[in-house]
Amino acid sequence: MAYDEGLATRVRDELGGEPGLVEKKMFGGLAFLVDGNMAVGVRGDNLMVRLSTEDADDALGGAFVHPFVMGGRSSKGFVLVSPGGHGVDADLRDWVGRGVAYARTLAPK
Which pLDDT tens digit goes with each residue over 65-107?
999 988 889 899 999 999 999 999 999 999 999 999 999 999 9
Q: What is the pLDDT of residue 28?
A: 85
| Residue 53, pLDDT above cutoff 90 | yes
Q: What is the pLDDT of residue 41?
A: 97
Is residue 73 a contact partner of residue 62, using CB atoms and an 8 Å limit?
A: no
Q: What mean pLDDT do residues 16-29 have?
A: 93
**Looking at residues 22-46, what average pLDDT do you find?**
96
